[in-house]
Chains A and B, each alone.
Chain A
């Protein structure tokens, strides 16, 4: 009886520990862990971006609405409210809403085998403000990988294709995002990411602070290494993520 009690206690601790801290970051990388089963996770991020030549974008905000269906599967809805200003035009409002799934493929080990998941989004072209509507439904497919190096250091990789609902050519995307745990509450990341068709390459970095295990505040900034029309874009971001 004692043994059973001990096993049960250990098991429940493991279950609690696995669900312990909210897992997300304000980077471009998507991590392979689905939201815990039965929990809603909401991630809202505000961005100010300078695109050079008098062009600015404000994201007010971009929100990921996630729900853990089971331990391997998360459903997701993405709403992006974007104000985009160029010298000739202003486009504002809701960009096409995205519906998606994240499915865990396998758990990694302490060696080279990473945690792996597949993320799939479909953007709904007419569920958007008039200026942002697209012509066609468009998919976004990504392979999400993560290696745990030590208790404090993890490295994540994404590879994928993003379609825009206007052209048949995909924008291929890569991201490499190492993370380092500074303390129990504070974590930082530095990331390199880019888009291959338009050959734009960026770096960004930021901080995540756990207010509780279920609430996280975020700050980050990014800089474009490649130049468009002689100028480098850059952005600053502030975000809040929580789960219920």
Chain B
């Protein structure tokens, strides 16, 4: 009887821990397999400065992902991104096409079988500032995977494709991120990711950062990335700060 009670307690506490802390898609490029708990809102905001060419840069002020847990396996998503784009002789500022989508858990992880979710987004071309509008509705599809290596290490990876609303050519996406639990509140990650247009030239990046839990529902993050490939001998980079909470 004592054994059963202990087992029950252990199981219950695992479940509590699993649902306990906020789990975010930020700050890495790997989207988490976790679904926002049923009936709860979650907002993930980030400010970023990105430079991919010597003559232009982008500042995100901010991007916010709004999520809502519909049930245990489905989350509804809305992504808004305010962007200031600076070119050599001009600039644009405004809202990029708003994205709406779903994340759906396909199965739970077990042993070497990773926990797996499906992410499908649609970017709405006219729900954007005039200068930043796209021409067509653009889809994004990703499969999200996660393996627990130990209590302190998790590996997340994504495979997917996205379209830009201008051309029929997809850009394939891969990410591979290792997360390390440093303390109860602090986690770090290191990640490799890339964008591979079906016919065009691929970009490969690495990034890393930290997440700090202020409470189990509020998280701040800091991260930075560097492009391994180069454009006219210029390697892109970015730095980012984020704030996430759920209610």
Chain A residues engaging chain B, CB cutoff 8 angstroms: 69-70, 72-73, 101, 103, 105-106, 118, 120, 122, 135-139, 141, 161, 163-170
Do residues A163 and B163 form an inter-chain contact, with CB atoms below 8 A?
A: yes
- Whether A141 touches B168, Cβ cut-off 8 Å, given contacts A73-B106, A118-B104, A170-B137, is no
Indicate whether B56 reaches chain A with its CB closer than 8 angstroms.
no
How close is B198's CB to chain A, nearest CB, in angstroms? 6
In the bound assembly, the distance between CA atoms of A122 and B73 in angstroms comes to 23
Report the bound CA distance from A137 to B160 in whole Å. 12
| B168 adjacent to A138 (CB under 8 Å) | yes
In the assembly, what is the distance between CA of A103 and CA of B70, in Å? 15
Q: Answer yes or no: B14 CB below 8 A from chain A CBs.
A: no
Whether B118 and A137, one on each chain, are in contact in the complex, defined by CB atoms closer than 8 angstroms, is no
B165 & A163 in contact (Cβ 8 Å cutoff): no
**Interface digits, B89-106 against A, CB 8 Å rule (1 contact, 0 not)?**
000000000000010101
A70 and B107: CB pair below 8 A? yes
Q: With A118-B120, A141-B122 as given contacts, are A168 and B166 in contact (CB-CB < 8 Å)? A: yes
Chain B residues whose C-beta falls within 8 Å of the C-beta of A163 in the assembled complex: 139, 163, 168
A69-B107, A163-B163, A168-B165 known; A137 and B141 CB under 8 Å? no
* CB of B169 closer than 8 Å to a CB of A: yes
Q: Is B167 an interface position by the 8 A CB rule? A: yes
Cβ of B224 < 8 Å from any Cβ of A?
Answer: no
Residues of B within 8 A of A (CB): 70-71, 73-74, 102, 104, 106-107, 118, 120, 122, 135-139, 141, 161, 163-170, 198
A168-B120 contact given A105-B70, A163-B168, CB 8 Å threshold = no
Shortest CB-to-CB span from A98 to chain B, Å, is 13
The minimal Cβ–Cβ distance linking A239 to chain B, given in whole angstroms, is 29
Q: Knowing A161-B137, A169-B136 are in contact, say whether A106-B167 is a contact too (CB < 8 A).
A: no
**CB distance B165 to A105 under 8 Å?**
no
In the complex, chain B residues whose CB is within 8 Å of the CB of A167: 168
Residues of A within 8 A of B163 (CB): 139, 163, 168
What's the nearest-Cβ distance from chain A to residue B199, in Å?
8
Q: Are B139 and A139 in contact (CB under 8 A)?
A: yes
Inside 8 A of A135's CB, which chain B residues have their CB? 168-169
- CA A234 – CA B118 in complex, angstroms? 37
Nearest-CB distance from B187 to chain A (Å)? 29
Inter-subunit contact A105/B107 (CB<8 Å): no
Chain A positions within 8 Å of B164 at CB level: 168
Contact yes or no, B168 A165, CB < 8 A: yes
Q: Are A139 and B141 in contact (CB under 8 A)?
A: yes
Question: Using Cβ atoms and an 8 Å threshold, which residues of chain A touch B139?
Answer: 139, 141, 161, 163, 170
Per the bound structure, the CA–CA distance linking A58 and B147 in Å amounts to 47
Residues of A within 8 A of B70 (CB): 105-106
Contact A166 B141 (CB under 8 A): no
CB-based nearest A residue for B76:
A105
Q: List 28 A-B contacts (CB under 8 A).
A: A69-B106, A69-B107, A70-B106, A73-B107, A101-B118, A103-B118, A105-B74, A105-B104, A106-B70, A106-B74, A118-B120, A120-B120, A120-B141, A122-B141, A135-B169, A136-B170, A136-B198, A139-B141, A139-B161, A139-B170, A141-B122, A141-B139, A161-B137, A161-B139, A163-B168, A168-B163, A168-B164, A170-B136
